[in-house]
Copies of this chain bind each other. A is one copy, B any other.
Amino acid sequence: MKVISAIKEMHEYVDKLKRRKHTIGFAPTMGALHEGHLSLMAAAKQANEKVIASIFVNPAQFAAGEDFEKYPRDVKKDLKLLKNTKNVDCVFTPDPKEIYPDGYATYVELGNEMPKGLCGATRPGHFKGVTTVVSMLLNIVKPDRLYLGQKDLQQAMIIKKMIYDLKYPVETVICPILREKDGLAMSSRNMYLNPDERNTAPALHKSLQMAESMIELGERDPQVLVREIKRKLKEANVEIDYVEVVDPDTLVKKDRVGSRSAIAAAIYVGKTRLIDNTIINLKE
């Protein structure tokens, strides 16, 4: 498994793969890898001749006062994990000073509503930072397929839209959420939870499961579903950021649970912000 930090070297490595007509699957990460990330690499390996992962804690996607400084970083451990999977051919670990040199000025941004709601409402500038860094990474890695996790649904859909609009010749593949045994969605930020918080955290998934059951029993009103999810979350004593029923592709709020909907939620458990979602496909 190759590890490359210099952008120039990465361009050369990718050019060599392209000349050999290898297809490239790419999974960008911020490190602190868990099985959710590794499932992206496994999916990429299945459909591409070469798999490239990146590890870069992107300062531009952290708002002021967020956890950029304390975001977990253990590149050595991450590289070992990736190597053990045997699914990754190359890991790109760029230097922040090369990604954002002095005088850096260019931003890629969606001007529609997609980055404004859900997590965007409490994380100003977050998705602008995401689309900007992903644009750079696509220009460097030039993948055929990009692997993203459904856990970050809004992020995945915004990146997919950016790729579509800017005509990147890249297929976006969104992989299912991986969960701990008690249902908590895997996330690098789960590391922040103390044992009590860790016991509380599965309430998020449980509340979404309850909503799924309600839908199965015929409930179609987002207001009822949101109210019941919030009630269940309050019982668990967590602070609610948002609970919303949206179209999973456009992220527009739905006034009825139709054939395809997503329920997305964000909570704080202690100081740790956790998100989760479920996509509902109904045969109607």
Contacts and interface: CB of A to CB of B under 8 A. Distances in A.
A103 B114 CA distance: 11
Contacts of A18: 18
Contact of A111 (B105, B111, B112, B136): B105
A106 B131 CA distance: 9
A276 to B, nearest CB: 26
Contacts of A19: 21
Task: Give the interface size class of chain A.
Answer: 20 to 34
Interface stretch (A77-85, A165-173, A199-207): A165-173
Contacts of A3: none
Nearest to A141: B167
Q: What is the oligomeric copy number? A: 2
Most buried by B among A11, A107, A110: A107
Most buried by B among A103, A135, A136: A135
B135 A166 contact: yes
A203 B18 CA distance: 51
Nearest to A8: B169
Given A105-B114, A139-B168, 19 more contacts: A11-B169, A15-B169, A19-B21, A103-B112, A104-B165, A105-B110, A105-B111, A105-B112, A105-B165, A106-B131, A106-B162, A106-B165, A106-B166, A108-B108, A135-B166, A136-B165, A136-B166, A136-B167, A139-B166
21 contacts: A7-B167, A15-B169, A18-B18, A105-B110, A105-B112, A105-B114, A105-B161, A106-B111, A106-B166, A107-B109, A107-B110, A107-B111, A108-B108, A108-B135, A108-B166, A135-B135, A135-B166, A139-B166, A139-B167, A140-B167, A140-B169
